[in-house]
Structure 1
């Protein structure tokens, strides 16, 4: 597997991707997903706290699958600049590892960093932060994703 150099993604393409993820992708828009930052090799995304996403705890905590979804999404999108055509080429998750560190009681924010992008596989490391039951902003989950890169 050889390392692949990323492409610059024009601001218009970033805006199109953001519009798609936030408004047109049915599942992500239902979750309230927003793109906070998108640079070559780095992606930051947020899913806001919503009662529909919580466990029946006191205080309510975000269900772990929401963090897992966020990890998967930002980890994959961070790899888009490494595709031949960042908007038209595709990728899919090969493997996703999530480690839950503590309960989350507020918005989830995930930051993905590309570890390596090869000719057919890319790997990202992702950290998720949120407010915790003690009222502090902390890391609540970490993950690593491996993604199959389909280049044109």
Structure 2
């Protein structure tokens, strides 16, 4: 994982240390993804291109977009909740597909609004050239470490 501590400042270093202590999700390892930025309420992950993830026409299969968006929005949550006492789970995920992709992608996720129990997030999939390929929204439910709802 590479953090952008020059832009995020001291807060990012604290978040990077917390994230470094966590086990990386197997999806990051499987996809050989690079977490480029984690800041409060924002994350960016770069995913390489792999023909095994493509449809018969050679473009990235739509389900991969959903996986990448869900993951990057989850990492945006890490930036907002660097302490290990809060968990979250995706309760809804919506993806709008805007263009096919035949190369590496950059996924960005942002916390838009956080309530006492739910968080609304938005994400984007960009081509390596910066063209918008997909947009997604997500709602996540905040939980205590023991899996119970926050009060």
**TM-score w.r.t. structure 2 length?**
0.79
Tell me the equivalent position of 2:74. 76
The residue number in structure 1 matching 2:62 is: 64
- CA shift for structure 1 position 143: 0.4
Q: Relative contact order (alpha carbons < 8 A, sep ≥ 6): 1 or 2 greater?
A: 1
Once the two structures are superposed, residues 55-100 of structure 1 have per-residue CA deviations (whole angstroms, 9 ceiling, x without a partner) of: 111xx211111111011111122123444x6334211001001000
In structure 2, the gaps of 5 or more residues are: 1-10, 146-151
Alignment correspondent of 1:53: 53
Structure 2 residue 145 is matched with structure 1 residue 145 = no
Partner of 1:109: 106
Q: Can you list the C-alpha shifts for 1:96-124, whole angstroms capped at 9, x where unaligned?
A: 01000010011111111110111110111
* Structure 1 residue 137, shift from structure 2 partner: 4.0
Correspondence for 2:26: 26
- Conserved 8 A contact 1:82-1:117: no
List runs of 5+ in structure 1 lacking aligned partners.
1-7
How large is the Cα RMSD of the aligned pairs?
1.9
Report the equivalent of 1:129: 126
2:91 to 91, 94, 99: 94
1:120 aligns with 2:117: yes
